[in-house]
Every structure is written in structure tokens, then in C-alpha cells.
Amino acid sequence: MRTTPPPPLAPQDTFRISPLIRYTLFGLLVSLVLPLPILQARLHAPVPLWLTGAGIAVGLVALAGLLSQRVETDAGGVTVRYSAWVPGFMGRHWKVAWQDIREIRSVPTSQGGRVHYLLTGQGERYLLPMRIAGFARFLRILEAQTDIDTSRVKPLAQPWMYLALLVCVALMFAVDLFIVAAAFGHS
């Protein structure tokens, strides 16, 4: 029986930060700061409430900016961008042509994981975005466009790690509610 080969992988695609990662990190930040203004008001802390609110708002906006990263692939290469309002010091935009990518270099992290860099013929290094939804599809496009073997490239963090963190975030929200209830329960 004769089978037809799969159609060639279209290089044009857009990949965003995985929703599991995005929502877990937002939840973590909110669970850490949620009780602060409530307790601050209840305990009559010397720091102005508006200052705490401004700090929380800045933190949420900064996290939203960092998590706005998107990776775009097309016939010309791969591009990493952030929302237009994100300043360059928070997120570096870059683009590299497929034909310029010479290898993927793995570097160990201090936590025992590995990060991967796209290396060009000019010696430039671009951090391989590994927290995107569709990472395996991205690697297939990268391999199809560059002929570089990506079989040894694995995501920095597995989904179960973010699920475990999400469970911890849910527990932190429960503790937050308990703390806030206790603060208002004792007059």
C-alpha cells in the first residue's frame, strides 16, 4: 500500500507563551500581593496605600509585558517580539534568518536544567524561546528550515512543573483568604 508523504511544514506561524505558564505566573504574583493592601489598611501601616497599589500595578504591567512575548516564523526566519509598549530593557526583540542559523548550543543552568541558543555564522547567540505553546511544532519548523537536528532539545520546564506551581498558587490563595478573614475577624 502506498502512502503519500505529509505535506511540507508551513514555516509561517505564531507562538505565544503557554497559557499554563502565563496564568500560573499571574496567579502567583496576585496571590503574593493580594493581601498586602487589605492588611495594610487594616493594620494602619505607615506606607501610603496608593504607593502599595502603584507598586502592585507596576508589577502586574511588567509581568504582562514580559508574558506578551510572541515568536513568529516565516519563510525568512524566526522573530521574537513583545507588545509595542514593552521597553527594550524588559524584552529584547530579535530576528534571525534561517540561513544564518548554524547550530543550537546547549548551556547548563545553575538549577541543573539546560537552555539552548541559536548560533549564527557571525557568532551571535539568540536564546531559544522554550516557554511557548506549540514548542514541538516550533522545533519541527526550525529543523525543516535549517536541517539542524533538534531531537535533543527539550523544554526548560515540563508542564507538570507549572501544574505543581499552579496547585501551590491555589493553596496560597486559600491562605490569603484565611489571613484576610483573620485580620477582619479580630477587631
Q: For 57-87, how does the pLDDT look when each residue is reduced to its tens digit (9 = 90+)?
A: 999 999 999 999 999 999 999 999 999 999 9
Burial 117-143 (b: 16+ CB within 10 A, else e): ebbbeeeeebebbbbbeebeebbebbb
- Averaged pLDDT for residues 97-113: 91
**What are the residues facing 117 on neighbouring strands?**
105, 127
Least confident of 1-15, 76-90, 129-143: 1-15
Q: What is the pLDDT of residue 171?
A: 96
Is residue 141 predicted with pLDDT exceeding 80? yes
Average pLDDT, the chain: 90
The domain ranges of the chain are 13-185
Residue 163's H or E segment, with its range, is helix 159-185
Residue 126 has pLDDT above 90, yes or no: yes
Residue 111 pLDDT: 80
